[in-house]
Chain A
Amino acid sequence: DTEVTQTPKHLVMGMTNKKSLKCEQHMGHRAMYWYKQKAKKPPELMFVYSYEKLSINESVPSRFSPECPNSSLLNLHLHALQPEDSALYLCASSPGQGIRNTEAFFGQGTRLTVV
């Protein structure tokens, strides 16, 4: 199984709502990532987890809160988002944190709309 599964595929939320994005992989990968992608732009790295510990936070606002409950799961908790946070949120995993001589696997993303 070489899939990274993200749920939900689409999400519409109000600015006062709290919601969570979920990501799951069963490849035994120890690094997991969240990326944000705006229309017609490349994916931007948000967070990196390595061995279930937060390794990199790319100065992401605190209204985005990542969580890694176990080695297969990665969540992104959302609270008090702004309309400009509307984007495609991508999850990825790789065997280890560095991608020097390995490949990363991406999910299909969650299309988030903040109203």
Chain B
Amino acid sequence: DAKTTQPNSMESNEEEPVHLPCNHSTISGTDYIHWYRQLPSQGPEYVIHGLTSNVNNRMASLAIAEDRKSSTLILHRATLRDAAVYYCILGPSGNTPLVFGKGTRLSVIA
């Protein structure tokens, strides 16, 4: 299985941008890069996903390196509500379901 590496924890000030990194050096050409987050006492929720090009949605932006061996989830203005564990997951071809790694615990300071 293709693996991802994320920092265990990160801290951000409220209303500042946050860049959450993910390394996936063994990614294959057909793997999508997915991000999910889990707020305290809730189930995981989808954030964003992409293949090669950078992606934007109402929650975040996903910046994918040209060689696709790393990616960065960007929260443009962190709020206290963004404090969560963020998971970077590769979505390979076939019928492979979501398999979670350890993720990054993001703390947001007021």
Contact = CB atoms under 8 A, between A and B. Distances in A.
Contact of A98 (B46, B49, B51, B93): B93
Contacts of A67: none
Given A42-B100, A42-B103, A92-B98, A99 B34 contact: yes
B95 A90 contact: no
Contacts of B102: 42
Interface of B: 30-32, 34, 36, 42-46, 49, 51, 85, 87, 89, 91-103
Contacts of B49: 101, 103
Given A90-B43, A106-B44, A106-B45, A100 B97 contact: no
Interface in A36-95: 42-45, 48, 50, 55-56, 90, 92, 94
Given A99-B96, A100-B93, 9 more contacts: A4-B43, A42-B87, A43-B100, A92-B43, A92-B44, A98-B96, A99-B32, A99-B98, A101-B32
Taking residues whose C-beta sits less than 8 angstroms from the other chain, chain A's interface range is: 20 to 34
A32 to B, nearest CB: 10
Interface of A: 4, 31, 33, 42-45, 48, 50, 55-56, 90, 92, 94, 96-101, 103-109
Contact of B97 (A90, A99, A105, A108): A99
